[in-house]
Structures are given as structure tokens and as C-alpha cells.
Structure 1
Amino acid sequence: MSGMDIKDVAKTLKDIDFVMLNTHTDGGQIAGRPMSNNRDVEYDGDSWFFVDEESRTFADVSANPKVTLSAQGSKGLLGKPPIFLSVEGEVEIVKDKAILAEHWNKDLERWWPEGPETPGVALLKVHATRIHYWDGEDEGEVPVP
């Protein structure tokens, strides 16, 4: 495949449940943690992650919204070796209960039994600003809308 576009990235991320979300800590270090995107990836470069307002993740992105996402698929788009994605982005914190309900799925009740009405639950909307991929012998940048 010669070059990926944003639709290829969204399709790839829908097949990868967990990504690594990397944030900047208050001490200047970089912290990474696995986050499930619940296969909730829009075709415009946005990824959504539920988080607790009391978490270190929430504190990190509140102080510095610049993050990266790292992902590895099980195979490339044309059956090649695994595909790798590195996404730079900015976080928008969403607390609107109607928007939380739009992105909610039953698997999340493991952490938030009261659903999107759980006090302190929020969404991190990561809007990609730069995407780099490696897919077998093919690698490059994906234009971000």
C-alpha cells in the first residue's frame, strides 16, 4: 500500500482495543498507560477515552493537553508484518453527560457501575495533530484534517 489516509488510521484503530496514552507529568516526566478506545474512533482523527477525574491521567492532561498515542496492530493492511501508529494530539476534556452517553458501552460498567451518570467520570477526546505509521516496508505521515 502506498500511503495511508485518515480513514485507514481510523479503520486500523478500530481493530486495536488498547493503545498507550502518553502524558506529561507535573514533574516533567512522560507517563504511559494502556487505555481502551472501545473501538470508538471517528474518521476525522479523534479518539475517545473514559477516565476518572481523580486519576493521575486526568491531572496530567488538565495541566498539559499535549499527548501521544502508540498502537500496534496484529497485522498490516495487506497482510504484511504488524502495523504501528504514533499519534500526537491534544486532549479536550468532555464532561457533558449526553456526550458521555453517546460514547458509552456496557463494558465500561466494570469501572463505572452507574454508567455515564457516575460522579467524576469524564471523556478525553484526543484530536490528532500528527500521525506517523509503519506498515511493513511502507511508512510515512498521514495528513490530519
Structure 2
Amino acid sequence: MANAEPPRNEDEMRIKVREMIQDIQVAMMVTTDSNGHLHGRPMRAQKPDADGKTLWFFTRDDSPKIAELESDRHVLLGYSDPKGQDFVSVSGTARVVRDKAKNKELWTEDLRTWLPEGPEGDGIALIAVQIEQAEYWDAISSNLTFAFGYAKALATGKPAHSGENAKVGFTGR
């Protein structure tokens, strides 16, 4: 999703973050266990909420991550699209949602692979992550640009800067 012109303000950068992650199907969710150790696992990502600040994930109600989130709600989400050279890190606070109507609203049939009982099954919960801040790396992904960057780095001994990196806050808006 490399753009010719980088975003100029916080609102544009928030939109850019949402656009970068909306089609990435799996995010790495990192939580903290009761001993203070970080624990990461892949999670099937749903489309960002209409408010643009909430991300949703399905889980089993008895998963260890539920207990981790109940003791420390801070999470880190890592999104990666290596083919498009898009990478996003999202930090926020999570809450567990037990609402079958919301399950049905967010359900996609491919989730049945992990949750065969469907959206109304017992023991299915959602994790809602309220985005607090994000950082993204949007590199230009064409082979020609990569080859030029490689040649420039080889000739000058300095890294090529062929992309964009920015931090953006989501709180207070």
C-alpha cells in the first residue's frame, strides 16, 4: 500500500494505519502473563470497527489469554504484509466481550476452522482492543525500487530510505 505522498497530519496517519491493517488476516497478539512474561500468539483479525479505534478478535472463553487480559489489559498487536512491505505495530487495551449478537455480527465462515460450533456456540468470546497508539513502516515494494536501493547502499555504504515510518496516537480523538 505504498503511497506516493505520505500523510501530513494525525487524522490522515490514523486512516493510513486502518487501511494498512484492514486486509491483513492474522495479527500477532502479545499479552503479559501473571509472572510478567510476554506471551504472543497469532490471532485471526476481523475488520476494524466503524469507530476506527477498535479491533476485534474471536477466542475461546477458557483460553489462557483471557486470564492474562483480566490481570493486565495492555496488548501489542503486530501486523505484517511482507509482500506489500507494510508493517504495523498497535498498542492498546483489551476487554473481553461475551455477546452472541456481536459474535454473529462479526462472524465470518472461515472462523469455523477454529470455532466449529459457530458464533452462537457456548464458550465463544470476543476480544475488543481499543487502539491507543500505532507505528507503521510502509516501504516501497517494487523490485526496481529495491534494486535501486541495494545499488545505492552498495555504492555509498548508507542505507536506502525508500519508505515511510511514523508513530500516531489514537487517544483523545
TM-score range, shorter chain: 0.7 to 0.9
Question: Residue 2 of structure 1 aligns with which residue?
Answer: 6
Question: Residue 135 of structure 1 aligns with which residue?
Answer: 138
Q: Which one of 59, 68, 74 corresponds to residue 60 of structure 1?
A: 68
| Structure 1 Cα separation of the partners of residues 88 and 115 of structure 2 | 29
TM norm structure 2: 0.74
SS of alignment partner, residue 119 of structure 2: helix
| Structure 2 Cα separation of the partners of residues 65 and 143 of structure 1 | 18
Amino acid at match of 1:140: A
Question: Residue 110 of structure 1 aligns with which residue?
Answer: 113
Cα deviation digits, residues 13-60 of structure 1 (max 9, x gap): 12211110000011100000011104x213512211001111111111
Question: Residue 35 of structure 1 aligns with which residue?
Answer: 43
| Structure 1 Cα separation of the partners of residues 73 and 166 of structure 2 | 25
> Are the counterparts in 2 of residues 15 and 73 from structure 1 also a CA contact under 8 Å?
no
Q: Which one of 82, 86, 92 corresponds to residue 83 of structure 1?
A: 86
Question: Residue 147 of structure 2 aligns with which residue?
Answer: none
Structure 2 alignment gaps of length 5 or more: 140-162
Instruction: Give the CA RMSD over aligned residues.
Output: 1.6
Q: Which one of 66, 72, 80 corresponds to residue 80 of structure 2?
A: 72
| Structure 1 Cα separation of the partners of residues 83 and 110 of structure 2 | 25
> Are the counterparts in 2 of residues 10 and 41 from structure 1 also a CA contact under 8 Å?
yes
Please state if 1:121 is matched with 2:110. Answer: no
More strand by share: 1
> Are the counterparts in 2 of residues 53 and 59 from structure 1 also a CA contact under 8 Å?
no
More helix by share: 2
SS of alignment partner, residue 69 of structure 1: strand
Amino acid at match of 1:142: V
TM norm structure 1: 0.87
> Are the counterparts in 2 of residues 5 and 143 from structure 1 also a CA contact under 8 Å?
no
Q: How many residues align?
A: 139
By how many angstroms is 1:129 displaced?
0.2
Structure 1 alignment gaps of length 5 or more: 77-81
